[in-house]
Structure 1
Amino acid sequence: MTKQFHDNVLTPAALDQLFNEARTYNGWQVKEVSEEQIRHIYDLLKMAPTSANMQPGRFVWVRSQEAKDKLASMASDGNKDKIKAAPVTVIIGYDVDFHEELPWLFPHTDAKSWFEGDEEGRKEGAFRNSALQGAYLMLAARAIGLDCGPMSGVDLDAITKEFFADEPKVKADWVCSIGYGDPSTIFDRSPRPDFEKFNRLA
């Protein structure tokens, strides 16, 4: 149906890889994720839009066993082993003082002045746009052939203190394991609503 309206639509295989067949994995094959792949993911996600190109996402890519164990100790019991077994788990955080970077990130105008003196407004913008960047991250990882296991069952305050200790205005939000998923660890796909359930055309 879509192909007859849009000449540039991705192939069905690509759409399956990004959406239709992509799953949240709970376990991982013993295969490494390289620094080159990590950098590739970031180089893709940074190209996607954020408000005024604010780029508030701050990412810590947890790879060493020591760092994995530390992060796992801050997770719920059901997530500890997932983090320890994953080749890499990225902490997605957001910088409340993102506006300090706007003079070079958004040089068309004095965008920094829009946010000065309004920390609550910055928190809202940083939270929303870093969540977008986290979603872009998952799509970027899938696009280069990796699988994802996003998690919110973690102690965000503890993670913030440990992994962003040198950046007092950065807050952790959620984490996402990345690697080559073990198909035996996924559940049957949960229901997805039809368009009519949660959509309206106005």
Structure 2
Amino acid sequence: MSDALVLDAAAQDLLFREARTANTFTDEPVSDEQIQAIYDLVKFGPTAFNQQPLRIVLVRSAEARERLVGHMADGNKAKTATAPLVAVVAADHEFHEELPAQFPAFPQAKDLFFTERPVREASSSFNAALQVGYFVVGIRAAGLAAGPMTGFDAAGINKDFFPDGDHSVLAVINIGKPGEDAWYPRNPRLTFDEAVTTV
């Protein structure tokens, strides 16, 4: 069925079929230029009302890395400590402050976002999670491996890295070139017939 796609087979393998969650990395650095190129590609992924609530904190200093590792689950500490780059990705619940003054579609939605914090939180969490998926695929498109994780003390990370209370961590992503024994055995995926129905 891969012939039914416009993307060639090599790109399909790079982004999906052969891409894996990495658990070890080489010491080859990940540059700011690489991360900016990734972001500049994946920022075009759709979000509701173009709200773009994803915020990314690149953890580069030894001091910040040590603080982050302290919040990770035991099984995630070592790989987070040694990955070339770690990104803390979060939803900005005050994303509406970045919306354009002339909101082009659904002006009532902007009014709702400005007045209803629970609506903003639900919307930003969902849409930022979409953007996390785009970000992971973008990392793969750069020839790097991503190790996204949700095993951490979220309250601790929020307090430490987002003390304003307006952001919620969604994932921590280790980024780099895969190292030795980087992959766990691949778990099975649902087939088309198991996951898709037609009505």
TM-score class, shorter:
over 0.9
Note the C-alpha offset of 1:170.
1.2
Q: Residue by residue, what CA displacement relative to the aligned partner does 1:65-92 show, whole Å, maximum 9, x if unpaired?
A: 2211110000011100111111111111
The aligned residue for residue 14 of structure 1 is: 11
The aligned residue for residue 153 of structure 1 is: 151
Note the C-alpha offset of 1:117.
2.0
The aligned residue for residue 174 of structure 1 is: 171
Equivalent positions of 1:34-113 (< 5 A) are 34-104=31-101, 106-107=103-104, 110=107, 111-113=109-111
The aligned residue for residue 117 of structure 2 is: 119
One-letter code of the match for 2:197? R
8 Å Cα contact 1:94-1:127 kept in structure 2: yes
1:163 to 161, 164, 172: 161
Tell me the secondary structure at the aligned position of residue 154 of structure 1. Answer: coil
Tell me the secondary structure at the aligned position of residue 185 of structure 1. Answer: coil
The aligned residue for residue 132 of structure 1 is: 130
One-letter code of the match for 2:165? P
Q: Residue by residue, what CA displacement relative to the aligned partner does 1:6-32 show, whole Å, maximum 9, x if unpaired?
A: 5xx111010000000000111101100
Q: Residue by residue, what CA displacement relative to the aligned partner does 1:129-162 show, whole Å, maximum 9, x if unpaired?
A: 0000100000111001110001000111111111
8 Å Cα contact 1:149-1:178 kept in structure 2: yes
Instruction: Please list every run of 5 or more consecutive structure 1 residues that lacks an aligned counterpart in the other structure.
Output: none
One-letter code of the match for 1:199? V
8 Å Cα contact 1:54-1:105 kept in structure 2: no
Instruction: Please list every run of 5 or more consecutive structure 2 residues that lacks an aligned counterpart in the other structure.
Output: none
8 Å Cα contact 2:92-2:168 kept in structure 1: yes
- How many residues align structurally? 198
2:194 to 194, 197, 202: 197
Tell me, in whole angstroms, the C-alpha distance in 2 between the residues paired with 1:109 and 1:195: 35
The aligned residue for residue 142 of structure 2 is: 144
8 Å Cα contact 1:55-1:98 kept in structure 2: yes
Tell me, in whole angstroms, the C-alpha distance in 1 between the residues paired with 2:159 and 2:176: 26
8 Å Cα contact 1:25-1:183 kept in structure 2: no
8 Å Cα contact 1:53-1:105 kept in structure 2: no
Q: Residue by residue, what CA displacement relative to the aligned partner does 1:152-182 show, whole Å, maximum 9, x if unpaired?
A: 00111111111112x3311112111110012
Tell me the secondary structure at the aligned position of residue 55 of structure 2. Answer: strand
Note the C-alpha offset of 1:108.
5.0
Question: Are the structure 2 counterparts of residues 85 and 105 from structure 1 closer, same or farther at C-alpha, using a change threshold of 3 Å?
Answer: farther
One-letter code of the match for 1:85? T
Q: Work out the percentage of aligned pairs sharing the same amino acid.
A: 41
